[in-house]
Amino acid sequence: MLFFGLILAVTAGIFNLLEFNIGVLLIIITAMLWMLAHSLTKPLLDRNEATPVQLVFIRNFLSGLFLISTYFIIFPIENFNLIFDSINLFFIILMGLVYGLGLFCWYKVLTYLGTSKGTAMTSGTPIITIIFATIILGEIFTIFHIIGTILVITSVIIIVKPQKNEEKVRLK
């Protein structure tokens, strides 16, 4: 129900299988890689083999190496000076801090919750994006967005709400 609600909200109810949308494909691949990375790091947090700070440092270091490498592959060396422009450098550092802080908070959440519950709680991100796109970019908010939003919120409540058996185990 959660996945269907997200697809409904993202595609606005247009399920044209003959039309290939690279944006939706990239979103799905990103979500899969996101979950794979966190499924692999959750055991490290559970066994206290790594702290959230260490995971953020490692992940940002590897991401930075990947981004710089692809920059050199795609763009000529002459554009390298753009990185050292003071305005660009300010925004690069600011984006790194914001992303790093968000990632740190996510890994802290994973130390307290399971990956599935934590992920279910973040599945509202596309809905929030749709709302901001409507307000800022003037995107059209359709009935499919509303239905998808309701499905996502209902699914998250069902997933996060403790079951009767879990409550009994906690009370003992």
pLDDT digits (tens, 9 = 90+) for 29-42: 877 787 788 788 88
Q: 88 or 117: which carries more pLDDT confidence? A: 88
Q: For the chain, what percentages of helix, strand and coil (3-state, to nearest 5) are there? A: 80, 0, 20
* 162 or 113, which is more confident: 113
Q: Are 99 and 139 in contact (CB under 8 A)?
A: no
- Give pLDDT tens digits for 54-81: 988 988 898 888 888 887 788 777 677 7
The average pLDDT across 155-170 equals 64
- Cα separations (Å) of 59 from 37, 120, 132, 161? 10, 22, 28, 31
How many structural domains comprise the chain?
1
- Residue 94: pLDDT band (50, 70, 90) is very high
How does DSSP assign 48-77, residue by residue?
TSS-HHHHHHHHHHHHHHHHHHHHHHHS-G
**pLDDT for residue 165 is more than 60:** no
Domain carrying residue 58: 2-171
Backbone angles phi, psi at 142, to 5 degrees: -100, 175
Give the rounded percent of residues in the chain with a pLDDT score beyond 90. Answer: 3
Which pLDDT band, with edges at 50, 70 and 90, does 10 fall under?
low
Q: Global pTM?
A: 0.62
In the prediction, which pLDDT does 90 show? 92
Task: Transcribe 84-96 into DSSP letters.
Answer: GSHHHHHHHHHHH
Length of the chain: 172
Is residue 18 scored above 60 in pLDDT? no
**13, 19, 25, 27: CA torsion to nearest 10:** -40
**DSSP assignment, residue 138?**
-
CA distances from 21 to 17, 138, 154 (A): 9, 21, 27
Listed range (5-19, 57-71, 91-105) with the worst mean pLDDT? 5-19
pLDDT of 12 strictly over 80: no
Tokens of 94: 């600011």
pLDDT score, position 78? 67
